Structure 1
Amino acid sequence: MSETSELLETSTDDSVQRPPRPPGPALGPYYQFITTDLKSMQWIGSALIFRHVSCARPSIEFNAKAAVTYDWEVLYENLFDMRAYRVNISIELHRGKYDEKVNWEVDWGDYTTNGTFRIAQYDQKWRGAFFSCNGFDATISKEVALGLTYNAVWDDLLSIHEINPFHLLVWGGDQVYNDFVLEDIPFLQNWSRMEWDEKWKFSITKEAAQEIEQYYFNNYTEHWERRPEMKQALGSVPSLMMWDDHDIFDGAGSYPPLLNDSPVMTELFRMAQKMRLLFQHHTTPSKARQHRLFGYQGHNFLAQCGPNLALLGTDGRSERSNQTVAHENSWNMIFEKLDNELENVQHLIVLVAVPFSFPRFRLAESLLDTWKKVVMRWRNIPFSQQTNSVFGLPELYDDLLDEWTHEAHIEERNRILARLQEFSEKKRTRVTLFSGDVHCCGVARFRTKRHATPPLHDSKLMYQIISSAIVNSPPPRIVIRAAHLFSTTWYPIVKTEEALIEFFNQAPEYGAKLFLRKLLPNRNWCYFEQCEMMDWTPQDSVANSGFLDSYFWSIVDYLLVLIGLSTIVSWKNKRTKKKVALNSKSKLSSTSRSQNQPKREINNLKVQFWLENTEKSNGVVPFSNYDLFIPDLQ
């Protein structure tokens, strides 16, 4: 086992082990939200349950004021000695503005388990949580590994859920990290050390394929069932998920055709897809279309969350190559579905695992592409072993090529941006983007160039929320500071301004005033809810707040922290902070109102970042929240 692996095991919970263990005889239930059918007035979802093949099928019962109907479906009769069941659930959608509480109980034969989840009634405002990067990758180092745990940020999320139960969990990619399959499976260890020309022609043996597929299966059950925070979340909040590269292996799809289309990598992708469909969508490759997933070769979804909100999940991995993110046929199917199925929806959340807007690193892209060509042509050149990944290419090559803003993908992105603007204008629907992947958090904004249209009427106004990571380690702060030095305002298509906005006024640590406000490298998650209230303060107003707020106090706070006087910074900023509220979880209630804020009978979207404080105090890690209000399109 490598040094990295040993560090990972000593710095995280004992509940997760490598290689992952086979599961116990019973797994689940894990709940999924699918959509609301407003014609039949039904909430539609499913539960995933596993039982050892030697045992009889368990029974499940639901208890709610609304009528609940369900039926059982066998997904796999025998998958590594487990039978996989899907329970298709329909719940009567009542008119009203309060939670519908649904109690469940599973009788396994020799014992029972039970729990509760809540759904929104027809007239209710939906609320939920969004996050990404739910594990540690293979590059974690000693400096960042020590002290990190799987559950720290999850515990904060679940504490909010206890106060104000979520209707929905939105998982933005990297639900599990399968990178270690390349280190833990002997066949793949040997394959990774093969000569270059032999490696990309080599095929997986039948025995190795069985072992690798079981590894993917066990890795899901290791996290889904043995991490208490995940088991609690999956059993108490219905989820929607969209995968990303680490659900397959690092950089999946972002490699040259020689690698991407090789027998071993193609087979790894097939196995990861099979397990992704099973655990993340409660389906199989042959039943995915029947279970409402759609696409040319990928698996996208469109979920209607009551009459005023919809969520589109875009699959950015199934059809990815080093030239495209998704096939044009899939994009046509997506926009046809949006056009035909969404009527009078006031807000559309588009889930794109990788940020749609992010700093451009053109020089780094060019240098890494040149280095890639060199190492592909002349192997074993000096320093290549130290700088290359297990696939023999520069370590950061796939990370940059993954980005929507990479030169290889920016034209495709701009075409999709223009089509989203057309959809927004035609349907008068506000579009907001949710993304993760980059292990930091921030807010980007598209709008009409030169502010020519007021925000309430600007169909080009789209905010992008970046929330990453709920578990994985943040990048070094110097990297985030360097990202601020690149251009963060662009004009990608006609009459459109794109920018990373100065959103974070104060740091989670001591509430210190920030000089660089666009991205923060703290682990985090996002709360979101539909709301009638609005905070009309411009979200990038800190940029225009004057010299003292913008520069002077930022420098003073930095120097005070540097010389060890952080207590003074905390005291000073507790008296003045407006956006940051340490542990003020009561602010989450959707029923709270400010007397000074206008009330409008519409469905705006409130997004609330919760950031982990990296300065631990008395063994407790406090969290800070930052609010963004996104208006409906009038």
Structure 2
Amino acid sequence: PQISHMLARVPSLMMWDDHDIFDGWGSHKKWFQGSMVAKGMFACAREAFCLMQLGTSADGRPDGLSDALPATEPDRLPDMVLDRSGKSLAWKVDFPGMTVIAPDLRSERTPEVIMGDHGWRDIAPALESIPEGNRILLMSSVPVIGPRLSLVEFFLHMMPSAQKYEDDLRDQWQSRWHRREWCRFLELLERIANDHDHEITIVSGEIHVATRGTFETIGKTIHQLVASGISHTAPPKAFARALGLLAWIGDHPLPERPTKLKPLPDRKGVYCAARNYLTLTRKDKNWGAKWHLEGIGWTPDLKV
């Protein structure tokens, strides 16, 4: 009820993820993803996202009268949606001094691909067209900076009883199945940050814990801020420690441009297993971030 109260009064910008469809959508076996049941669930989830978050019907017509409108009726997806065909629901919104952009990591997802042809076609021009001087807040439904997963995937592949967890790992940018695409995305962000002189902050969630990270490009530091779903139960502390061990091993996909996960301000572990939410503050061109941790309180401000 409290969240409903807030959402009814506070404007929001949202991007869907797997749990809006079902757990691990796009990372399961192709025979399952291609089944009529899975396709039906995807269609229903897409319709709900379009209606509740984009204010339009699933085929891009906001009044819900798609059957009554002629087939040649112009696309009515909101202007913020990048792909006018609706194959990808990625969007971008410009505000004074900042731009919020959210790639769609689900509409075209397969076990081998995170963003499909439509997503990749539109994301670079969208980033390149951001007004000069705007800070970029990039929403990635799964963290762009994360722990090394290739070792875990290797061991799970050798253990048949644990292979049921493979789709959870394959869901991440850091999966060995997506390494080339992950590098491509990092290189794109690096180019936009340096060649177009934008400060970039990645905001993410999905993993049910709080953490942060940095991507040291040749020129600028890109910060990543991760918060869990505000209503999601906190995971066991052992889960956070296990993730922290993977983060300690490290993973640097681009030579001489390290990605690194770091503890929240005044915290020891890289991951904090407490229910939490993230706030960003802005004063002129100075930005800060802080997390509220359930049972702990506010972290100190982090300059980003």
Off by >3 Å, runs of 4+ in structure 1: 367-371, 487-490
Q: Displacement of 1:235 after TM fit?
A: 2.3
Offset at residue 488 of structure 1 (A): 4.8
Q: Map of 1:329-344 to 2, 5 A cutoff?
A: 329-340=118-129, 342-344=130-132
- The offset of 1:263, in angstroms, is 1.3
- Cα distance in 1, alignment partners of residues 281 and 225 from structure 2: 14
**1:519 matches 2:271:** yes
In the alignment, is residue 440 of structure 1 matched against residue 216 of structure 2?
A: no
Kindly report which structure 2 residues correspond to 1:242-321, keeping only aligned pairs within 5 A, or say none: 242-287=15-60, 290=76, 291-292=78-79, 293-295=81-83, 297-306=87-96, 308-321=97-110
Match of 1:510 in 2: none
> What is the Cα deviation at residue 369 of structure 1?
3.7
1:473 CA drift (Å): 1.6
Asked if 1 retains the 8 angstrom alpha-carbon contact of 2:266 and 2:299, the reply is: no
- Corresponding residue of 1:485: 245
Deviates more, 1:286-295 or 1:417-426: 286-295
Which residue of the other structure, out of 583, 596, 612, is the alignment partner of 2:294?
A: 612
Output the amino acid matched with 1:406.
S
Aligned residues: 286
Partner Cα distance (1:367, 1:253) in 2: 22
TM-superposed CA distance for 1:491, in Å, is 2.6
Q: Pick one of 260, 269, 285 that aligns with 1:499.
A: 260
Counterparts of 1:245 and 1:482 in 2: how far apart (Å)? 23
Normalised to the residue count of structure 2, the TM-score between the two structures is: 0.87
Check 1:366–1:442 CA distance in 2 against 1; reply closer, same or farther (3 A cut).
same
2:300 aligns with 626
CA contact (8 A) 1:354 1:435 kept: yes
Asked if 2 retains the 8 angstrom alpha-carbon contact of 1:356 and 1:404, the reply is: yes
Could you tell me how far apart the structure 2 residues matched to 1:497 and 1:326 are? 23
Asked whether the equivalents of residues 265 and 299 of structure 2 are also in contact (C-alpha less than 8 Å), the reply is no
Aligned to 1:217: none
Q: Name the CA distance, whole Å, in 1 between partners of 2:300 and 2:21.
A: 32
Aligned-residue identity in percent: 26
Question: What's the offset of the Cα at 1:624?
Answer: 2.5
Q: What does 1:87-166 align with in structure 2 at a 5 Å threshold?
A: none
Deviation track 1:472-503 (CA, whole Å, cap 9, x = no partner) reads: 12221112112222335433214311101233
Root mean square deviation, CA, Å? 2.0
Q: CA deviation at 1:370?
A: 4.9
- 1:426 is matched by which residue type in structure 2? D
Equivalent residues of 1:446, 1:498 under 8 A apart: yes
Which position in structure 2 is the counterpart of 1:349?
A: 137
User: For structure 1, which runs of at least 5 residues remain unmatched after alignment?
Assistant: 1-226, 375-383, 388-392, 507-513, 533-602, 614-621
- The 8 Å contact of residues 346 and 428 in structure 1, kept in 2 or not, is answered as no
CA distance 1:445–1:496, shift in 2 (3 Å): same
> What is the CA-CA distance between 1:435 and the residue it aligns to?
0.6
TM-score, normalised to structure 1, is 0.43
Residue of structure 1 aligned with 2:150, choices 347, 352, 362: 362
2:64 is matched with none
Superposition pairs for residues 179-578 of structure 1, below 5 Å?
227=1, 229-287=2-60, 290=76, 291-292=78-79, 293-295=81-83, 297-306=87-96, 308-340=97-129, 342-370=130-158, 394=164, 396-448=165-217, 458-459=219-220, 461-486=221-246, 487-506=248-267, 514=268, 517-532=269-284
Q: Structure 2 regions of 5+ residues with no counterpart? A: 62-74
Q: In terms of Rg, which structure is larger?
A: 1
Distance in 1 between residues matched to 2:230 and 2:200, nearest whole Å? 24
